[in-house]
Amino acid sequence: MRLLLDTHIFISLINEDNGLNQSIINGLEDSKNDKFISIASIWEIIIKLNIGKLIVTRNLEKMYGAINLFNISVLNIQKHHLDKYLTLPLIHRDPFDRLIILRH
C-alpha cells in the first residue's frame, strides 16, 4: 500500500501522540507499505515552528530521524506541480494542502 502522510499525521507522529488511530500506526510500522511525505509538509512545520504557531516535542534532528526510522520518502516539488497548482479548483485554500494533493 502507498501512504501519503499529511502534515497533521506527521506532527502527531513526531510528537509521539498516543491518540493516533491504531490503523495509522500499523500502516506506518508495516515495512511492506511505501510511505511518503511531501516537502511541503516539512516546510509548513518549519514555518509554524519559526513563527511560534507550533510546538513539537522533538527537535528538528529527531524529526528528520523519524523520517528515516519509519522509512518515509520525501517527495519534492517540481515545476510541473506548480503549473498544475494553478489549475486546481479553489475548493480548499490551504496552500500546503494544495501542494500535497498534487503528488497523487
Report the pLDDT value the prediction gives residue 14, as an integer from 0 to 100.
84
Please tell me the pTM assigned to this model: 0.81
Handedness of CA 43, 93, 88, 4 (dihedral sign): positive
The CA R_g of the chain, rounded to the nearest whole Å, is 14
Q: What is the pLDDT of residues 20-58, one digit of tens each?
A: 888 988 998 899 999 999 999 999 999 999 999 988 877
d(CA 30, CA 49) in angstroms, rounded, equals: 29
Q: What is the pLDDT of residues 59-82, one digit of tens each?
A: 788 888 889 989 999 999 888 888
